[in-house]
A and B are shown apart, each in its own frame.
Chain A
Amino acid sequence: MKTSYKLLAASSLFALAAGSAAAQTELRMMWYNDGIEGEVMQSLLDGFHQAHPDINVTLDVVPYQMVLESLPIQLAAGNGPDIARVTDLGGLSQYYLDLRPHVQNPEYWETNFGPFLSWLDPDGDAINGFMTQLTVTGPYVNRTLFEQAGIDMPGAGATWDDWATAVNAVAKALDIPIPMAWDRSGHRVAGPAISQGAMMFDAEGAPALVDDGLKRMAQMLYDWHQDGTMSKELWGSVSGSTYLGANEDFANANVVMYMSGSWQIPQFTSTIGDAFDWWAVPAPCGASACTGMPGGAALVAIGDTEHPKEVGILMDYLAQEEVLAEFYGRTLFIPGHLGLASSGIDFATDDPRAAHALSTFAAAVPTISPTAFQLQGYPSNRVLFNALISRLNEAIVGELTLEDAFARMEEDVANQLAESGR
C-alpha cells in the first residue's frame, strides 16, 4: 500500500512537470546592441513573462555583423529565430511573418507604424513588425574644441565645404589628428550624395547609382582624403564593404566633426558624458539639399516560426504604447511609433547634450529628401551602398582612378542585381 502511494505520488508529479513543460512555449529573439537597449528589452521581456507565464522568450544577443551576414543564411535554411532585430528592412522581407492574423488590432498597427510597414514589405501590405528605433544620419561636432580654438561653428544652412574649412582650422589650431570623420558606410554617404544632387534612381525607378550628384560627393570625399581633412585610417584601412565607425576616436577627442547618426546618442551619453560638449548639428547642405538618410532597426516576426500565435501575442505586448514609451525613453531612441512621436517621449536623461541631439535629429526628419526615403525603402539598397563604399575606397587609396571607380560601381550593381534576379 505504501509503495502504491509512493508510485502514485511520483507519477502525479511527473505528469504535472510534463504538463507544465508541454504548456511552456519557447520563443527566441535575435538581438544586437548599439547601446543599452538589450538590457531594456530584457526587462520588458521579464514583464511579458509575468503577464504570460506560458511563453518564455530567450533574448539571443549577437554581434551586429552576425545579423548582417549569418541571419540571412539561417533564414534561407529555415533555421532562423522566431523574432529578430534587423536593419536590412526590405532585403529580408521574403522571410517575415505577416502578423495581421495574429495581432489583436491590426488597425492600431497601421495607424501607428503605417509608413514604416512598407519599408518591411515594399510590395504588399503585411504587418511584419515595428521599428525599435528610427534613425537619421547627421554629424556631431566637438563644440569644446571650437571654443578652445576660438573659432565660430558654421550656422544653419552651412555647406559641407564651410564645415570642412572650419574643422580644418580647429584641428590646425589645436593639433587634432582628424579634422573630420565619416562612418565607413554607404548609408552614411548616401545623405550627402543626395544633398549634392544624386538621384539614385532613373526616371523608371530603376537603380542608377552614378550620376553628376554622386560624382560631386565622391570627388569631395576623395579630395578630403588627399588633403588631410579626413584620415585614410578609417576609409582606407580596410577593404570591401566592411563597416567602420569613428565613434571611439570622436569620444577620445581625436575628431572635430563626426558624420554618423542619431543611434550614437545613448553611447555618447555614457562614454563621453560631460567630458566635452558633443553637439549634434543639422545635415550640412550640398548643391541640391541639406538631407540626411532615414533608417533604423525593426523588430520583425519570422515566417518559419512554429508559434505564430505566441509571436503575435509577444509583438502585440511589445508594440503597446506604454511599453514602447518605456523602451524609447530608456534607450534614448527616436520613436518609430507615430502616436508617441507626436505626443513626445519622456527621455530618461538630464544630459543637455543628449536632449539637444535628440531634438536636432527629430527636427531633421521633415527635411529629409524624398529620394532618401525612396532609397531607404528600396529592398536592394545595400547593393548600391556596398558598391559605393568599396569602389570609392579603392579610389581613395590610389588603386583606381575616380572614373574607373564609377565604372566599377555601375558594373558591381548590375552584376549583383542580375545575379539576384536569376
Chain B
Amino acid sequence: MARVYDKPQTTGEALTHVAATPVRVLFRLLDYPMSAIQRLLGIGGMPWLFLLPNLVFFGMFVVIPLFLNFAYSLTGGTALFLSDRPFVEGEQYGFLFDCENYADPLSCREDRFWKGIFNTAIFIFFQVSFMVLFSLITALVLNREIRGRGFWRAVFFFPVLLSPVVVALIWKWILLRDGILNAFLVSIGLERILFFVSPDWAMFWAVFVSIWAHMGFYMLILLAGLQAIQPDLYEAAEMDGTSKERVFFRITLPLLWPNMLVVIVLALIKGVQVFDEVYVLTGGGPGTATQFIVQYIYNTAFTNQVQNFGLASAASMVLGGVLFVLTLTQLAATRRRDNA
C-alpha cells in the first residue's frame, strides 16, 4: 500500500510533504538508536527510559534534599556543611516535642513551634472551609448562562496569576492605618481600625487574602466538574418537577463530590505550606498570632544570628510528614474520582 506522502496529489499535499521532510529525516535518524535500545531493554523497559529525565530531576531536587534534610535534623551546631556538624541523634526532635501539655504551646520548651502548628491549624480550618464554599458558589454562578460569563470567569481567575508578594503588598496598602479601607471607614464617619495590631483581624485578613488569591484556581476545577455533569439529568429532574434544592443536593453535589474532594485536599496541602503571602502581609504578627509553621522553620534557619539548621530541618520533617499524609489522601481521592 502506497503511503500518502509518496505521491502528493495536490499542491497542499506537496507543500506538506516538503515541510515534513526534516521531521521524517529526524525520525529515521532516531529510529536506529531507539530500535537498538529497545532490543537492549526490551519493550517493558522503554517507559522507564522515557521517565528517566524526569526521575533524575525528581531525585536531584526532591529525594536527595529530603534525605539531606533528614540527615541535618540529626545534627547540631551552626556549621553549614553536614560533614562539619556534630551528630546529636534525635535531640532536635526531643527539643521540639518537649511539652508538659501539647494543648498549651506555652508549656512547651519550643513554644513558637507549637504556636506555629496551632496557628496553621486555625488558618487551615477557616481558609479551606471558606475557600471551598466560595469556590463552589462562584463556580455554580459562573456555570449559568449569565451576561459576560467569560469576563467574570477571567476576573475571578486573575488573582491566581499574581505573585503572592504582589498580592500581599496590594492588600497591605489597602489595610494600613492610612490605607484605602481606613480612608473609606473614616469618610463614612467610622473609627480607623488598626488591622495588623489585633490578632483576630490579622488572622481574618490572612485568611481573606489567601482565599482571594487562590479561589480562582479551585473555582476552575469545580467549574470543569460542573460542566462534565450530563445535562439530561437536569432535564429529567425538571420534567419530574424536582425542586432546585433537591437537584443541587441529589444530583449536582454527589456528581461534583470527586472534584470537591480534590479541591479540599489540594487546599489543605496549600494551607499547610502557607508562608509568602502572610509573611509579607502581617510579618507573622501581631506577636506570633499569624506566625505559621513554615515561617517558624524559616526564622529558625535563617533570621537568627545562630542559624539553627538542625532544629529547622527537624521541624521540616514534621511538616513533611503531614504533607505526605495529605498527598496520599489526595492521590486516593483522585483515583476514586477517576474510577467513578
Interfacial residues, chain A to chain B (CB-CB below 8 A): 68-70, 72-73, 76-77, 88, 91, 177, 231-233, 236-242, 244, 380, 382-383, 386, 393-394, 396-400, 404, 408, 411, 416-417, 419-420, 422
Contacts and interface: CB of A to CB of B under 8 A. Distances in A.
Contacts of B194: 231-233, 237
A242 B288 CA distance: 12
5 contacts: A236-B285, A397-B199, A399-B289, A416-B305, A420-B77
Interface stretch (B60-68, B78-86, B226-234, B331-339): B78-86
B196 A233 contact: yes
Contact of A382 (B285, B295, B305): B305
Contact of A236 (B80, B111, B287, B305): B287
Contacts of B242: none
B106 interface: yes
**Size class of B's contact patch?**
35 or more
B283 A69 contact: no
B287 A399 contact: yes
A416 B304 CA distance: 9
Interface of B: 76-81, 86, 88, 106, 109, 111, 177, 194, 196-197, 199, 202, 282-291, 295, 299, 302-308, 310-311
Contact of B308 (A68, A232, A233, A416): A416
A411 B98 CA distance: 14
Given A76-B81, A422-B88, 4 more contacts: A238-B285, A241-B299, A400-B106, A419-B78
A173 B202 CA distance: 31
Most buried by B among A73, A91, A239, A396: A239
Given A76-B80, A422-B77, A237 B305 contact: no
Nearest to B304: A386
A322 to B, nearest CB: 36
B305 A397 contact: no
B199 to A, nearest CB: 7
Given A404-B106, A419-B76, A237 B282 contact: yes
A380 B305 contact: yes
Contacts of B288: 239-240, 394, 399
B75 to A, nearest CB: 9
Contacts of B286: 232, 236-239, 397
Nearest to B192: A177
A77 B80 contact: yes
Chain A to chain B: the 5 pairs with minimum beta-carbon distance, closest first: A238-B283, A239-B284, A382-B305, A76-B80, A397-B287
B197 A233 contact: yes
Contact of B285 (A73, A91, A239, A404): A239
Contacts of B284: 238-240, 242
Contacts of B308: 416, 419
Contacts of A242: 283-285, 303
A269 to B, nearest CB: 24
B17 to A, nearest CB: 44
Contact of B80 (A73, A238, A422): A73
Given A238-B282, A240-B291, A397-B289, A386 B80 contact: no
B283 A239 contact: yes
A416 B308 CA distance: 8
Contacts of A244: 283
A182 to B, nearest CB: 16
Contacts of A411: 109
Contacts of B196: 233, 237
Contact of A239 (B177, B197, B287): B287
Given A233-B194, A239-B287, A420 B282 contact: no
Contacts of A380: 305-306
B287 A88 contact: no
Contacts of B86: 422
A363 B150 CA distance: 68
Nearest to A383: B305
B274 to A, nearest CB: 14
Contacts of A68: 303
Nearest to B284: A239
Contacts of A77: 80-81
B305 A91 contact: yes
Nearest to B88: A422
A377 to B, nearest CB: 15
Nearest to B111: A408
Contact of A241 (B79, B199, B303): B303
B287 A394 contact: yes
Contacts of A398: 287
Nearest to B109: A411
Contacts of B299: 240-241
Contacts of B202: 237
B81 to A, nearest CB: 8
A253 to B, nearest CB: 12
B307 A73 contact: yes
Given A177-B177, A233-B197, A241 B289 contact: no
B88 to A, nearest CB: 8
B247 to A, nearest CB: 48
Given A77-B80, A177-B177, A397-B199, A417 B306 contact: yes
